Every structure is written in C-alpha cells, then in structure tokens.
C-alpha cells in the first residue's frame, strides 16, 4: 500500500486555482490528468511513475496500468507553448510576489537521447521551470535560435514595472543579449 508522505492541508496547495489559470491553455483531458498528477505529487512528494500509478489506483476505480497509459499519453501530446509558458511565468511571479524576476537558462542532456533547454524563475537557490524545449540529443546546430524562441514566447508576459534578468550557464552570447534587450529583459 502506498501512503502519502505529506500531511499539509489542501488549502496550502491551490491546485484548483492553478488549473483555472491553465484551463484556456490545455485540453480537458490534459487538465484532468494534470489535476491527478499534481494531487499525487503533493500527497507522495515524488513523481516516481510506479508509485504515482499505484497511489492513484487506490483512490480511483482505474487500474495502475491504465494510469500509466494515461500519463504516457499526457507526455506524448504537446502542450500549447504560446499560451502555457507565459501563463506559468505570470503565475509564479504573482504567487511568489516577486519584485524582480531572475530567469536561468540551462541545457540538460539526458543521455544521448534528449537535451532539454529550460528557462526557469530562480527562487531561493531553486529554479521553477516556466518554459522549455526538448530536442534530440544528437541534434546539430546553434542554440541561440532556440534560446531566442523561448524568450520570444515569454515576451510581454510580465508588466513593464517588473524588471527581468536572464542568466545562462556559460555566459550569454551577444546575440542573446540583444534579443533580451529588445524584449524588455536585461
């Protein structure tokens, strides 16, 4: 039997509020699966696939393998980046009441198969991802256009009164510096 590790009340985790903000950006099936996935994450403190599927199977009449297939389909269907990423950035900034925003740009390689280019809000030595791009690990080409595309999706998501700064792992190339400047990001 899988038991929950966290004992916080549901009011501390505004899942319903989060899903209300995301409902215009996601399909009803995606919203339903994300709702259950967030609930499992909060209750278990992990997103380990087997534990999540077993936990959700205990709460619902749906078998663990069916949950596994539903979560797999959630990963396979792309999210609408144009509406989802700016919404995530606005939510993080609003909920944390950030007076200024520090964005970290990082590329993480997952073996030779995938590279995830992620842009996240830095909060207390942690990064909350708000935009990402997954590419094949062996893809040749420049990173600058991908970085510019991520920043372009977030352009205009924050009010002008909130300063935003972008940091990269190995410095910031001049092309990215110019792209940030035209987008109101320093």
Residue 181 dihedral angles phi and psi, to the nearest 5°: -65, -40
Helix (H, G, I), strand (E, B) or coil at 23: coil
Helix (H, G, I), strand (E, B) or coil at 95: helix
Does the pLDDT value for residue 97 go beyond 60? yes
Cα angle 46-138-127, degrees, rounded to a multiple of 5: 35
**How do the residues of the chain divide into helix, strand and coil, expressed in percent and rounded to 5?**
45, 20, 30
Give yes or no for a contact between 166 and 105, defined as CB atoms under 8 angstroms apart.
yes
Does the pLDDT value for residue 130 go beyond 60? yes
Q: Per-residue confidence at 65, pLDDT binned at 50, 70, 90?
A: very high
What does pTM read for this prediction? 0.65
Contacts of 144 (CB under 8 A, 6+ apart): 173, 175, 176
**Digit-coded pLDDT (tens) for 24-49:** 777 888 878 877 877 777 677 666 77
Q: Which residues pair with 171 in a beta bridge?
A: 169
Does the pLDDT value for residue 14 go beyond 80? no
Q: What are the chain's domains?
A: 10-76 (no CATH), 99-182 (3.30.420)
pLDDT confidence of residue 135: 85
Which of 59-63, 65-69, 123-127, 182-186 has the least mean pLDDT?
182-186
Mean pLDDT across the chain, nearest whole number?
Answer: 77
Mean per-residue pLDDT, 158-177: 72
Largest CA distance in the chain: 55
pLDDT confidence of residue 35: 78
Mean per-residue pLDDT, 61-89: 83
């Amino acid at each position: 039997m899988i038991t929950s590790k966290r004992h916080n009340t549901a009011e501390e985790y505004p899942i319903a509020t989060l899903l209300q903000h995301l409902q215009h950006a996601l399909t009803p099936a995606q919203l339903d699966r994300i709702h259950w996935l967030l609930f499992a994450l909060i209750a278990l403190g992990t997103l380990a696939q087997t534990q999540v599927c077993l936990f959700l199977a205990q709460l619902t009449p749906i078998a663990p393998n069916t949950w596994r297939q539903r979560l797999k389909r959630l990963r396979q269907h792309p999210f609408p980046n144009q509406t989802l990423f700016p919404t995530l950035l606005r939510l993080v900034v609003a909920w944390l009441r950030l007076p200024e925003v520090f964005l970290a740009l990082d590329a993480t390689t997952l073996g030779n198969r995938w590279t995830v280019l992620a842009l996240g809000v830095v909060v207390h030595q942690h990064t909350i991802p708000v935009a990402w791009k997954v590419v094949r690990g062996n893809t040749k080409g420049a990173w600058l256009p991908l970085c510019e595309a991520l920043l372009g999706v977030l352009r205009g998501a924050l009010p002008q009164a909130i300063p935003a700064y972008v940091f990269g792992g190995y410095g910031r190339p001049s092309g990215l510096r110019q792209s940030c400047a035209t987008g109101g990001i320093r």
